């Protein structure tokens, strides 16, 4: 079943075309990662899927509902976003920050109910954040902060999560931990993930499907293993890339000319 439908989507900024005629159909319970060189339009695409970009033409539908026709609260019940540089207000506890994910359900002026509290506690437990729950968000390390931002997105209880470079600023161990957490959510909860990643090796290892974007156009779209081994990958990154099999996993290595 296709859960996310991107239909002939184009996005412009003034005279510049950021996305051109992008069409994607993403099935429920799959992980799709958008890759491509800088300026390819990756962030624009995921922001458009989350309803944060005005489109020039085309549409995005999630569960049969056109994102462009929904208000902010309605969108927040369908798709949650983990931005590359999230705004985290100081003076909040981790639990209160994660609970912001429930505002789409109880509204700003009403207090969360028992069900909202239960969702928040469940997410804190799944992401091993219980011991940090009462800490000020300003005291968290980079890895802890990223887990907290992901927890807020999961607390929205959407079936689609959009992530823009979720591993930015994290060391290797914390990158792997965060991506493993996401993979578990896909497997256990049927979550649909649309992400962008610069690290091609991690993109290929965790995603079911890769979409290579360049200059706002889809160049290759297919199973992760096929895309990382495609000739188009080196061509559109403008460099020699070698794929090495390490214990059954593809590792993408740039090679000097």
Domain ranges for the chain: 2-78+158-255, 85-157
Cβ neighbours of residue 51 under 8 Å, at least 6 residues apart?
A: 60, 67, 68, 70, 72, 75, 79
Asked whether the predicted pLDDT for residue 195 surpasses 80, the reply is yes
> For residue range 11-68, what is the model confidence (pLDDT) as tens digits?
999 999 999 999 999 999 999 999 999 999 999 999 999 999 999 999 999 999 999 9
CATH architecture type of domain 2-78+158-255: 3-Layer(aba) Sandwich (3.40)
Read off the pLDDT of residues 120-144 as tens digits, 9 standing for 90 and up. Answer: 999 999 888 999 999 999 898 888 8
Q: How far apart are CA 208 and CA 108, in angstroms?
A: 37
Q: So what's the pLDDT on residue 104?
A: 87
At 169 the three-state DSSP class reads: coil
134-184, pLDDT tens digit by residue? 999 989 888 888 899 999 999 999 999 999 999 988 889 889 989 999 999
Question: Based on the number of CB atoms within 10 Å of its own CB, is 188 exposed (0-12), middle (13-18) or buried (19 or more)?
Answer: exposed
Is residue 233 over pLDDT 70? yes
CB atoms within 10 A of CB 248: 5
Give kind and range of the element (H or E) at residue 16: strand 16-27
The band of 90, judged by pLDDT with boundaries at 50, 70 and 90, is confident
> CB of 166 within 8 A of CB of 193?
no
How far apart are the C-alpha atoms of 20 and 220, rounded to whole Å? 14
CA distance 51 to 194: 13
Q: What percent of the chain has pLDDT over 90?
A: 74
Instruction: Give the per-residue pLDDT at 108.
Output: 66
Whether this prediction's pTM lies above 0.75 is answered by yes
At residue 5, the 3 state secondary structure works out as strand
């Amino acid at each position: 079943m296709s859960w996310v439908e991107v239909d002939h989507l184009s996005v412009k900024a003034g005279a510049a075309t950021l996305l051109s005629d992008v069409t994607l159909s993403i099935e429920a319970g799959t992980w799709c990662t958008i890759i491509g060189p800088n300026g390819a339009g990756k962030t624009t695409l995921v922001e458009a899927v989350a309803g944060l970009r005005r489109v020039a033409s085309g549409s995005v539908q999630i569960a049969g509902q056109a994102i462009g026709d929904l208000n902010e609260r309605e969108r927040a019940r369908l798709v949650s976003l983990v931005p590359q540089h999230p705004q985290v207000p100081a003076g909040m506890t981790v639990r209160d920050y994660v609970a912001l994910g429930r505002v789409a359900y109880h509204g700003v002026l009403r207090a969360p109910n028992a069900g909202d509290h239960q969702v928040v506690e469940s997410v804190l437990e799944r992401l091993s954040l219980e011991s940090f729950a009462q800490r000020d968000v300003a005291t968290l390390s980079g890895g802890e902060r990223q887990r907290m931002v992901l927890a807020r997105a999961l607390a929205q209880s959407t079936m689609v999560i959009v992530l823009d470079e979720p591993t930015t600023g994290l060391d290797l161990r914390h990158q792997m931990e965060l991506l493993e957490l996401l993979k578990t959510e896909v497997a256990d909860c049927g979550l649909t993930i649309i992400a962008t990643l610069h690290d091609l090796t991690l993109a290929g290892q965790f995603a079911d499907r890769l979409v290579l974007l360049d200059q706002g156009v889809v160049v290759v779209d297919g199973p992760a293993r096929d895309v990382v081994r495609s000739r188009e990958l080196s061509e559109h990154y403008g460099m020699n890339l070698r794929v090495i099999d390490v214990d059954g996993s593809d590792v993408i290595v740039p090679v000097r000319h």
